[in-house]
Structure 1
Amino acid sequence: MSSPATPEAWALPAGAESDPAFARLHAYWLAKTRGDRLPARADIDPLEIPRELLPDIALLEIERQADGRRRYRLRLFGSGLEAMTGGSNETGRYYDEVTHQPGLYEKLDAMLTAMAEERRPIYFAAPSGSTDRGFLWFGRLALPLASDGRTVDMILALVRPLPGSPAGQPATLPG
C-alpha cells in the first residue's frame, strides 16, 4: 500500500531550481493533481506540455516483479535524450538494461522505489548511465503518476544536461 502523500510533499524538489525547465514541467504536473490524488498517465497530454520540453521527456512504466521488486520500462524516450545518449533509442527497454555505470542502477532503483512508495516528486543529478558517456551529467526530475490516483505505476521524467559538472563527481542521489 502506498503511504499517504500530501500536496505539501509535492513541492518542487531541492536542486530542481537549477533549470527553469524543471519548474515548468513540475507546475504542469502539479496542475494535474486532484486534491491528494496523483495524476494518471491519461491526464498527461503532450500537447499541453511546453513544446521545448518534449525532446527531454521520458516516461517509465513500473512493473512489479514476483519477488516484490520493481522494474522500470522506458515507454517513451524523447528525441533529445536519444541525441544525448549517442543516438540510441531506449524506448521499450528496461532502465536496468541501459544503465551501465557500475553501481549507478542500484542507487537509481532505491531512489525510484522510495519515490513510488512515498508518492512524491524527486530530483537528482548523476552521470549518464552509458559507459562511454559517464563524463556527461544530467539533472533528472521524476514525477509520479498513478492510474488510481494512489498507487504509482508510471513516472514522468525530464532529463536535462548539467553544464560544467565535472566527471567523477559523486551523484547527488537522495538518502
Structure 2
Amino acid sequence: MSLSEVRLDGNNFTGVIPNVLANCSDLYLLDLSNNYLFGEIPSWIGNMSRLIALDVSRNILFGRFPQWRGNALPLEQLAMADNQLEGSIPRAICNLNEGLIFLDLSMNNFSGTLPSCFKPVSLREVHLSRNMLQGPLPNAFCDSSSLVTLDLSYNHFKGNIPLFVIALMHV
C-alpha cells in the first residue's frame, strides 16, 4: 500500500522539506502549510506525476518559484502564500494552464509580470496580492470563464483596468 495523502499542516515542524517525500510516487495531496519549514521549495516536486494539491503556505520558505519542467505535474491547487519567495514567476507555470483551479501566491516578494503563456482556462480563484508584480494588468485571466475570485491587490500594476475585468463582473 502506498501513501497518497500527506497532511502535516498546522504543526511546529521545522527544517527543510524532506527529500524522502520524493519517493512517494502515488502522492496526490501534500499539505505542509502553517509550520516553520524553511529553505527552497525542492525541484523534485515537479516530478510528482500524480500530485494535484500542493500547499506550502505560511512557512519560512525562500528563494525563487520552482523551475518545474514538462507537463508531468497535474496540479489543480497550488498554494505558496505567506512565505519569502522572490523573483519573477517563471514560464514553467504555463505547464499548469490546463488543470489549475486554485492559485495562491499572495504575500511573497514576486516581481515582474506574469508570463504571457500563462492562460489557465479552469481557474476559479487567483490570489496574487501583496507582491511586487508590475506592468499592465495581465490578460492571463480573460479566458477564465469559471473565475470567481481575482485578487491582485497591493501590487504595482498600472494602466487601464482591462475590459475583461468589467466583463467578468457582469457574467
TM-score, structure 1 normalization: 0.27
Structure with bigger helix share is 1
**Which protein has greater RCO, CA pairs closer than 8 Å, 6+ apart?**
1
